[in-house]
Structure 1
Amino acid sequence: MVPDRRALPVVGFVAPSGSGKTTLLRRLTAALQSRGLRVGYLKHAHHSFDLDRPGKDSYEIRAAGADQTLLASRERWALQMENDRTGEDPDLEAMLARFERDRLDLVLVEGFKHAHYPKIEVYRAALGQAPFYPDDPEIIALATDDPPPVFPHPPVLPLTEIDALVDFIFSQARL
């Protein structure tokens, strides 16, 4: 069964590494928050990561074999789970299902370029890489300051105009 995303709009950002996705998302998140939205963020990491470090209690217990480790403080908490399907990318729908939907208005996703969901491609000609949009019909816009290299192309949004990106997301997500 596919979850109903109407209750929680999801918009992704895809591009090769080094294209400025995270920088753009940081600016975009602040702009969306200033308009009163509660924003969730999901990032696909292509490598292993830890929330803590060797020598810390939670790290040592996880390294000893705990399948789930929950770190909690007065300000925040984080649940770290061991992936029992090592070698497989996480499933976008499964990760989105972990959010507390009633506490968010929108989820911004960084990565998951092969998943089926609405995405905005960040394109920089200086990287010398082919764009994704000609092969991905789910790319709904191109965020770039360069001319689109392939025609036809989705709507173009200037990278430097955060308000235009916010307006586009509002229209697409029906916020």
Structure 2
Amino acid sequence: MKLFGIVGWKNTGKTGLVERLVREISERGFSVSTLKHAHHSFDVDQPGRDSHRHRVAGAQEVLLASGKRWALMHELREDREPGMRELLARLSPVDLVLVEGYKREAHAKIETHRAEVGQALIAPDDPTVRAVASDTAITLDRPVFDLDDTTGIADFILAEVGL
């Protein structure tokens, strides 16, 4: 599986870009999966649902399945958070995995940037950031795309990973 990351500070457009890239690259005939890192506690389940009740009761894993999809929820309890590579190994094979977050990992990535957020760019100090997608003009030693140029960014990523 090929891997490419989308990183950036909070509210810089990472999730919107990933969503558009998944659609664009999938429409080109490639299979795509995503891995998103969350820095906060999250729950994909809802209190009162059977699967939630199973987890609260102490189940280590709950596999929820229907005719449309299945989801495996694994409770870490006191265990350490698995690393990005461990999580990637759990995915079914696809042409490309887009990783949102994990900005300190060594994989190639594109940085999202919005001037109004006021954060400094990650790219100048990180050679794994191969390009920047920004809502403002930036002069940099690597490609800079308009944040809304989904086609151009998809072309760049596919070329970078050899697809």
Please classify the TM superposition score into its range, dividing by the shorter chain length: over 0.9
Runs of 5+ unmatched residues, structure 1:
1-7
Shift of 1:19: 0.9
1:84 & 1:66 partners in 2: Cα distance? 10
Name which of 123, 131, 141 aligns with 1:141.
131
Identity of aligned residues (%): 44
Shift of 1:147: 2.4
* Kept after mapping to 1: 8 A contact 2:110/2:130: yes
Runs of 5+ unmatched residues, structure 2:
none
Q: TM-score by structure 2 length?
A: 0.94
2:81 & 2:8 partners in 1: Cα distance? 17
Equivalent position of 1:167 in the other structure: 155
In the alignment, does 2:105 pair up with 1:112?
no
* Kept after mapping to 1: 8 A contact 2:12/2:112: yes
1:64 & 1:152 partners in 2: Cα distance? 53
Q: 1:64 to 1:94 in 2, by over 3 A?
A: same
In the alignment, does 2:41 pair up with 1:53?
no
Structure 1 stretches of 4+ with a deviation exceeding 4 A read: none
Name which of 13, 26, 34 aligns with 2:27.
34
Shift of 1:69: 0.8
Q: 1:89 to 1:121 in 2, by over 3 A?
A: farther
* Kept after mapping to 2: 8 A contact 1:133/1:153: no
The alignment covers a number of residue pairs equal to: 163
In the alignment, does 2:86 pair up with 1:94?
yes
Counterpart of 2:72 in 1: which secondary structure? strand
Q: RMSD of the TM alignment (CA)?
A: 1.5
Identify which range, 37-46 or 49-58, moves more after superposition: 49-58
Shift of 1:145: 3.0
